[in-house]
Amino acid sequence: MTKSDISRNIFYKFRLSATDADAILNTIIDCMSNAIVSGSRVEIRGFGSFYTKACKPYTGRNPRTGENVEVKAKQLPCFRQGKGIRDAFKTLSERESS
């Protein structure tokens, strides 16, 4: 599913104009992005949490040349699934195994 698919679903479900649906989706994404970049955790109950994880500096290797490369410390965006999604996948896998 792409951003335009989500926007289209908002458009149909709430009978909004396509412009309004895009504006709503862009506002939500901007709010979430700004919060995550500033170090805050974004939690959507039943769906999951977006957060950042600190990675320490380390010595890596350039696969092309084999040369050692120092990789700086960085923050990585992460997602942890919520109970609702976890349960949905559990139910799905139980149905597929039957």
Express each pLDDT in 24-62 by its tens digit. 999 999 999 999 999 999 999 989 999 999 999 999 999
**Residue 56, class by beta-carbon neighbours within 10 Å (0-12 exposed, 13-18 middle, 19+ buried)?**
exposed
Residue pair 10/16 in contact by the 8 Å Cβ criterion: yes
Q: What pLDDT is recorded for position 20? A: 96
pTM score above 0.85: no
Give me 92's structure tokens: 């799905």
23-32, 59-68, 89-98: which has the minimum mean pLDDT?
89-98
Query: What sign does the CA torsion over 69, 73, 76, 82 have?
Result: positive
